[in-house]
């Protein structure tokens, strides 16, 4: 059994050495470290070169985003199991060991994830346990690494798989179609959902990764994020409908909810024409109260909408 660690890197000179060090310090050895430099303009390449480590394989591509970088790394990997780590994050020392022990107990598993701690740029802890923060830690502690029943349903209720904690069978990744390079937000959820619909997966309650939070980004890209989540749910609906229904979920309603989220956001921004389009699409997917209310409201005079908003 060989394990390949794949690191997508973009202008990662500040932290990538710590990321690689956390892999090399594993109590169970990783067979190779693959760094995919996604068009960095800093000295990331120089740092990797100076490490002079024969177990590190470095490749550089034009900037295409982390999904393309991970896919390139998967294609280059020689291992039959793949682990991921972003260049500014770190694994805990027994990460791989805990996952391999879990695999020994449950050899049917094709993906093993785990808990993570969030840290800031100075390595100070922000959130000790994300699973605990989301009220999921006790559940996964009791699961004790056994295959998760109705994993797809649980995943769509709340994504419990941080990409940097994943150990996944390479053939499973390929069978699921790898990361969707056309999606920048939620592409990991889409892939894990397609895998969980067909293969046994689990999540450990132990912290396997330190994830660095930089405190910028999300709010400025709300439109792109919500639009991509519609794409994610459209893909999941198209590929996993039978399994969703089997686990008690309505694929049409799930898509309608994501469209309603986007439509409501346009409504809240005063972009009523776009709101009408998305809310109408939501209602076509599945009649739902939220989309109906805001779709009708978007036809009111703007001055009346503003008055209602101010009163609310």
User: Model confidence over 57-69: pLDDT tens digits?
Assistant: 999 999 999 999 9
Above pLDDT 90, what percent of the chain?
91
Residues 13 and 17: their CA atoms lie apart, in Å, by: 8
Reference 109, options 243, 227, 199, 12; nearest CA is 199
37: which 2 tokens?
């430099």
Domain boundaries 3-212, corresponding CATH code: 3.90.550.10
> 290, 306 in Cβ contact below 8 A?
no
pTM comes to 0.93
Burial of 24 (0-12, 13-18, 19+ CB in 10 A): middle
3-state SS class at 128: coil
Give the per-residue pLDDT at 89.
96
Residues 262 and 223: their CA atoms lie apart, in Å, by: 7
- The CB density around residue 17, as the number of other CB atoms within 10 Å, is 16
201: left (phi over 0), alpha (psi -120 to 50) or beta: beta
> 140, 204 in Cβ contact below 8 A?
yes
3-state SS class at 54: coil
> 208, 98 in Cβ contact below 8 A?
yes
In this predicted structure, the answer to whether residue 36 has a pLDDT above a threshold of 60 is yes
pLDDT in tens, 187-238: 999 999 999 999 999 999 999 999 998 754 444 478 999 999 999 999 999 9
3-state SS class at 116: strand
Tell me where in the chain the CATH 3.90.550.10 domain(s) lie.
3-212
165: which 2 tokens?
């904690």
Element at 58 (helix H, strand E): strand 56-61
Give the per-residue pLDDT at 218.
41
Residues 266 and 168: their CA atoms lie apart, in Å, by: 38
Give the per-residue pLDDT at 310.
74
4: which 2 tokens?
């390949």
> 154, 248 in Cβ contact below 8 A?
no
How big is the CA angle at 217 (ends 48 and 221), to the nearest 5 degrees? 125
Reference 70, options 183, 156, 159, 154; nearest CA is 183
Residue 274's pLDDT band (cuts 50, 70, 90): very high
Burial of 106 (0-12, 13-18, 19+ CB in 10 A): middle
Alpha-carbon distances of 221 from 52, 195, 217, 218, 265, rounded to whole Å: 38, 27, 7, 5, 12
Give the per-residue pLDDT at 307.
78
Residues 240 and 271: their CA atoms lie apart, in Å, by: 33
Give counts: helices (H), strands (E), the chain: 14, 9
């Amino acid at each position: 059994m060989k394990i390949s660690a794949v690191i997508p890197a973009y202008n990662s000179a500040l932290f990538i050495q710590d990321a690689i060090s956390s892999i090399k310090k594993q109590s169970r050895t990783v067979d190779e470290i693959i760094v995919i430099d996604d068009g960095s303009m800093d000295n990331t390449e120089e740092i990797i070169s100076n490490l002079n480590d024969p177990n590190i394989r470095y490749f550089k591509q034009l900037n295409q985003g982390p999904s393309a970088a991970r896919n390139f790394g998967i294609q280059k990997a020689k291992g039959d199991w793949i682990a991921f780590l972003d260049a500014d994050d770190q694994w805990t020392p027994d990460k791989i060991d805990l996952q391999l022990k879990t695999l020994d107990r449950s050899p049917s598993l094709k993906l093993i994830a785990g808990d993570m701690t969030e840290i800031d740029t100075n390595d100070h802890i922000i959130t000790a346990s994300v699973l605990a923060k989301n009220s999921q830690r006790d559940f996964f502690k009791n699961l004790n690494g056994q295959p998760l029943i109705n994993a797809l349903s649980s995943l769509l209720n709340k994504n419990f798989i941080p990409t940097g904690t994943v150990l996944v069978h390479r053939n499973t990744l390929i069978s699921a179609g790898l990361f969707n390079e056309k999606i920048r937000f939620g592409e990991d959820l889409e892939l894990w959902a397609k895998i969980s619909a067909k293969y046994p997966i689990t999540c450990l309650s132990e912290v396997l990764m330190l994830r660095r939070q930089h405190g910028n980004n999300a709010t400025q890209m709300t439109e792109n994020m919500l639009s991509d989540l519609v794409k994610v749910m459209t893909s999941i609906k198209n590929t996993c409908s039978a399994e969703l229904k089997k686990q008690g979920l309505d694929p049409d309603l799930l898509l309608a909810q994501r469209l309603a989220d986007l439509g409501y956001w346009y409504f809240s921004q005063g972009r009523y024409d776009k709101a009408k389009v998305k809310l109408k699409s939501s209602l076509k997917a599945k009649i739902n109260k939220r989309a109906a209310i805001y779709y009708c409201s978007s036809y009111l005079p703007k001055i009346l909408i503003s008055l209602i908003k101010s009163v609310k």
